[in-house]
Amino acid sequence: QVQLVESGGGLVQAGGSLRLSCAASGSTYSRYAMGWFRQAPGKEREFVAAINWSGVRTAYADSVKGRFTISRDNAENMVYLQMNSLKPEDTAVYFCAAVVATTMYVPTVRAEYRYWGHGTQVTVSL
């Protein structure tokens, strides 16, 4: 098992940046593919970005391509989401997720992930 704790959320003006962090503990972190999802009020939880276990392959939702960057540090058991050029529609609770996957595979579907954090709120104002 792996436990996930997100941090780094907050209130930012449109056009600003935030960096989310996800700390993993409890298992061999490097065996896991990692993803970020978000959920706005009244909406379904949606895929944002994902990274394979080694960090060489990534995937992004079309809505964040070119603005968000996912990365990981297996030595520190961390995964990050750098968010630039933020828009009000990026406002949501952001969740970190993990699934065992020691291949080049990058899961992009919510149901593929086994472990979830409790989320961190990101609010983007006009």
- Lowest-confidence segment of 21-30, 43-52, 117-126 by average pLDDT: 21-30
Q: What is the pLDDT of residue 29?
A: 61
Tell me if 48 sits within 8 A of 36, measured CB to CB: yes
Interatomic CA distance for residues 95 and 97, integer angstroms: 6
Phi, psi of 10 (to 5 degrees): 165, -165
Judge whether residue 31 has pLDDT over 90.
no
Q: What is the pLDDT of residue 103?
A: 85
Q: What is the mean pLDDT of the chain?
A: 95
Judge whether residue 30 has pLDDT over 70.
no
